[in-house]
Structure 1
Amino acid sequence: MSDPANLQQVLDRIVRTTTEQPWVRLGTIMDTVGSRSFGPVLVIVGVLLMSPISGIPGVPTLSGLLILFVSAQMLVLGPGYWLPGWMMNRTLPAEKLHRGIRFLLPAARFIDARLHPRLVPVVRGPGSYLISAVCVVIAAFMPLMEVIPFSASAAGFALAVFGLAMISLDGLLALLGLVFTFTVAGLIVINFL
């Protein structure tokens, strides 16, 4: 199976793979998008964190662990990743997952129509390591976002933007994601000082 080329393909694959199941294993979702593609993983986690499913206790922390595992391995080992069995066996309610995906499909179509390859070195080669490093930092703060319901949505937005940029090879989108991430981080630091 080839890597998905846009957000709608990622979402469609997840829905096709998880229909008629009351609970969806994280491993099933990861197998759907492949274990060598970092972009779809970021999109999936970002979408989950922007959906109502992020309000389920443990989802932000699990998402942070997933991104930490994957992005750290990308920094050290390059393409491809491995996740422990206990993480791959975690489940999510399929109904909430599908509801979140249905909510996002119109936006996915709108977004996909505007993305295309540009500034490719930002998302390939050395640029991908910068994105991975930023994702490691975001992931490290995800457990702290557990205490405030839905606060992980901003992190989810940044992760989804990075994932979309990597899928579509859109370096401009990745740069906008970096600006967003550093702006939010700066605002948080300023509010705590």
Structure 2
Amino acid sequence: MPREFTSLTQLLEHISKTAKRRKRVSLDLVVRAVGRRSFAPLLLLVGIILFSPLSGIPGVPTIMGLLVLLTAVQLLLGRSHFWLPQWLLRRSISKGKLIRALHWLQKPARFIDRWLRPRLEFLVGRAGTYVIAAICAVIALALPAMEIVPFSATTAGMALTALGLALVAHDGVLALFAFVVTAFVFGLIAGALF
């Protein structure tokens, strides 16, 4: 059931309510909760997962990178309903780990929500969304390498969260911040690998 989210707190609360009904929470359940038709909530979801302590679980950055890449490419191709493979959607995590990560994110989410508002909307309009999708695809391709560079996946999660929030809140200023964070992430990776 697709929903409109206007804040990060609202999205976290919705995921938490969905998770409380299960012992294990699959990616499919969370994706259905936030809506498969909207790029912004899916991007925001991945960013939250990578920014949380869940990014320290081996394989999570790579799986999230694949999710972002698949949705970003489909957006760039003009699809309105995102297809994701079943093997990816079946991936799951224990309810306890997810609830702890969501709880850890509540305070930063409330702080961030106070600063969100529609600004410089041309940066997050139709053309801006395609630029953001292209940037996200590049980040997604780099996420497997981020498994070996400490904290880089968390920083990438911050960039993806900011890009997702910018689209949700129509906040171009936040999009500009996300572009700076993305440049920093790639500088960090380049410095660590070369």
Which TM-score tier does this pair reach, normalised by the shorter chain? over 0.9
Deviation per residue, 1:119-172 (Å, 9 max, x gap): 111112111111000000000011112234543101111000000101100011
Q: Which residue of 1 aligns with 2:89?
A: 88
Look up the equivalent residue of 1:102 and give its one-letter code.
H
TM-score (norm 1): 0.93
Aligned residue for 1:77, secondary structure, equals: coil
Shift of 1:182: 1.5
Task: Calculate percent identity across the aligned residue pairs.
Answer: 44
Q: Which residue of 2 aligns with 1:113?
A: 114
Question: In the superposition, relative to structure 1, how do residues 78 and 118 fare at CA in structure 2: closer, same or farther (>3 Å)?
Answer: farther
Q: Which residue of 2 aligns with 1:11?
A: 12
Aligned residue for 1:5, secondary structure, equals: coil
Q: Which residue of 1 aligns with 2:102?
A: 101
Look up the equivalent residue of 1:66 and give its one-letter code.
L
TM-score (norm 2): 0.93
Q: Which residue of 2 aligns with 1:162?
A: 163
Is contact 1:55–1:149 with CA below 8 Å preserved after alignment?
A: no
Is contact 1:39–1:166 with CA below 8 Å preserved after alignment?
A: yes
Question: In the superposition, relative to structure 1, how do residues 25 and 191 fare at CA in structure 2: closer, same or farther (>3 Å)?
Answer: closer
Aligned length: 193
Q: Which residue of 1 aligns with 2:144?
A: 143
Aligned residue for 2:93, secondary structure, equals: strand
Unpaired runs of 5+ residues, structure 2, are none
Deviation per residue, 1:80-139 (Å, 9 max, x gap): 311111111111121111101111111111111110111111112111111000000000
Look up the equivalent residue of 1:23 and give its one-letter code.
R
Q: Which residue of 1 aligns with 2:57?
A: 56
When structure 1 is superposed on structure 2, of 26-35 and 81-90 the one drifting more is 81-90
Q: Which residue of 2 aligns with 1:124?
A: 125
Q: Which residue of 2 aligns with 1:181?
A: 182
Measure, in 1, the Cα distance between the counterparts of 2:43 and 2:93: 17
Look up the equivalent residue of 1:19 and give its one-letter code.
K
Look up the equivalent residue of 1:36 and give its one-letter code.
R
Measure, in 1, the Cα distance between the counterparts of 2:26 and 2:70: 17
